[in-house]
A and B are shown apart, each in its own frame.
Chain A
């Protein structure tokens, strides 16, 4: 084997090993949070209506809001807007984490809130993470806070939930295994491309 080839293989191997080791060394395990569709823990706040903010999102939302304590500085907040857009925010008090650990979690989508008291929580730094769900819309609620509605053009609601997840799943589902026609098309395209390549190769010879 040539020296240059050996060098390239060594670089690739080194990179792979470094990535695996680094990934394990810097893994920070976030606590588990229950989903808002099956909330658990102790309810610490509940508002049937009102204007609410979401960390990392400049929009204000109108709707129902409930907060559940999961113990040990962890809370889950379930916001259901009048238009049926649900936003779950998981709160995690991170006073004991190092700056490096917080930076790793920020790269995983967590948002640093330097002082929780600004959000009605106890003093100290928190990490917050948002996720979407769909919930029942208020009848006549329409679109609030600029969130997606239920598709009705007149701005009224039919009392059913929003279509936040539908759009997301249709995009992400492109490479899911549900559509057998997509899979068969991919295999057929593979055979066709290989056939064309072989034909071109033979034509050249």
Chain B
């Protein structure tokens, strides 16, 4: 009996510790970062992306500008973060957008498939339509996936994998 009661207490304690660890990880501000990413500043016209819509996975969220401060990537818990040092979606280059893997945000992003459509509405009312071309799971060290490109694309990602150790990335190209 003594062994069984201790086993219950120990197992329960282990569950609590692991649960608390997941809570800390969930609200860790740095968890959406990529390692050693070098930003390139683009000249912007003042137009900003405001809203993203992905009908195939039922996502419709506001977009907020975000910056990298040190190694910490700012991330909103109210929508999608747009790395404001990357090009405006629809212009030439690689626009970087990301969000938490919470069910109300980008939790369903891993269900997206090549061929799915992404619509982004800009602050001037313009709509930019993209088609997903690739999806992949990469390590946070794979910063080359965020590198600039000659085409007009968005790179949309969220955390995935065991203890959020990976990034699920959807790459979508501007639809002409």
- Which residues of A are at the interface with B, using a C-beta cutoff of 8 A? 32-38, 40, 84, 86, 131-137, 150, 158-163, 165-166, 168-170, 172-180, 182-184, 186-187, 189-201, 203-204
Contact = CB atoms under 8 A, between A and B. Distances in A.
Contacts of A132: 136-137
Contacts of A131: 136
A178 B107 contact: yes
B163 interface: yes
- Shortest beta-carbon contacts, A-B, top 9: A193-B12, A197-B8, A161-B114, A190-B15, A194-B12, A178-B101, A197-B9, A190-B16, A37-B134
B124 to A, nearest CB: 28
Nearest to B14: A190
Interface of B: 1-2, 4-20, 22-23, 25-26, 31, 94, 100-103, 107, 110-111, 113-116, 132-138, 141-142, 144-147, 149, 155, 158-164, 166, 168-169, 171
Given A136-B114, A161-B115, A177 B8 contact: no
A174 to B, nearest CB: 8
A180 B166 CA distance: 18
A45 B88 CA distance: 32
A62 B89 CA distance: 34
